[in-house]
Amino acid sequence: MGNMARVIFLDEKQRDFVETVCSKTNLDSESLAKICGVHGRTFRDWRRGKHRLSLSAAMKLSEFSGVPLPVEAKIVDEYEHTRRAAQLGAPRRSELYGNPGTAEGRRKGGLNSCKRQQELGSQGIPSKFIVRKKVNLPQESEELAEAIGIILGDGSITQFQVTVSVSALVDCEYADFIKQLFERLFQIEVVRQPIRTNTIALTMSSRSLVDFFIEKGLVKGDKVRQQVDIPPWVKAEPKFLKACIRGLFDTDGSVYFHRHRCQGRDYLNVGTLFTSFSPPLCNSFYQFLTSEGYSAKLTRGTRVYLYRASEVARYLQEVGTHNPKHIERFNRYLNRRSVINNNGSERCESGRFGVPGEHV
């Protein structure tokens, strides 16, 4: 068994053997320790019977002193006790946590490890073990409903991250609002970073946050393929639905100018467009507008329009927006309409303002 072997003496026989060697050689512990090639403290532990005597040391002491080893002494491998403990512990461990060689066994072991490390962290004990971040999981509210709308619009959910991507050209101020909203709601860092030259990505990394949004009715992966819709709990409460619609339009909606021709003249008007390639989501947006009395138009199952300037103004006042570009766009229309009126242009029969030759 080599140098890793140990000698097991019965009862007090080890101490008797070492004491006999010391007495017969008339040497102290330090001297005999040098003969064995160990530290003096190790030899003193053997002398007290605290630890088992190594086989190599026992043979050296016996040869040097002429004191024979007791016939009842057994030679065992140093880690024999470890193997015996493993034989007893392995069945019990499998009973508690499952077979470690299976996916279920590894899952149980991992969950228990995470739980233990989280307990250590709560006690202020440092650990390099990666555990879930602590995030605030808010109650259902208008702010949460708006966050849901933002993710349904320009968001994506993966296994560990929630990301909202907006235009770096026209949504910089709105990106600030989104960052503040999510940090206020979930008390988690939102990383803002440019992607290419035209996109801003706002990313939250948290498995707990992902699980929370899934529980609230969102989905991981491709939203269009899974035909997402506004979650039922949002639709059930009018103020939540309005907030969610606001988040949807602020991300996937636009205020735009359009021309039409009436009696040989070109006229300028303003409208809104909401686009989603998930027909259930687009239909829910349309149903909200019509239920509120708007003259909305649904086309191709993926686009919802408001064509009247008065309804655009009403929407921005009643539903509201946190995206400055929509207000700026509508104000541009109002300013141009004011210039048009001051120039003495005529009102079209449809009630829209226009000016000959106006192009957008």
Amino acid letter for position 345:
S
Listed as ranges, residues in the chain with pLDDT below 50 are 1-3, 344-360
pTM (predicted TM-score): 0.62
* Among 256, 272, 266, 271, residue whose Cα is nearest residue 354: 266
Which domains does the chain carry?
Answer: 2-78 (1.10.260.40), 81-122 (no CATH), 142-229 (3.10.28.10), 249-342 (3.10.28.10)
User: Could you tell me if 228 and 148 are in contact, meaning their C-beta atoms sit under 8 angstroms apart?
Assistant: no
Task: Please report the pLDDT score of residue 220 as a whole number.
Answer: 93
Segment 114-129, tens digit of pLDDT: 777 777 766 777 766 6
Label residues 285-306 b or e (16+ Cβ within 10 Å = b). Answer: bbbbbeebebebebeeebbbbb
Q: CA 62, CA 287: separation in Å to the nearest integer?
A: 97
Q: CA 11, CA 86: separation in Å to the nearest integer?
A: 25
Task: Please report the pLDDT score of residue 4 as a whole number.
Answer: 59
Task: Please report the pLDDT score of residue 81 as a whole number.
Answer: 61
Segment 193-221, tens digit of pLDDT: 988 789 999 999 999 999 999 999 999 99
Task: Please report the pLDDT score of residue 100 as a whole number.
Answer: 66
Write phi, then psi, for 256 (nearest 5 degrees).
-135, 160
User: Could you tell me if 312 and 306 are in contact, meaning their C-beta atoms sit under 8 angstroms apart?
Assistant: yes
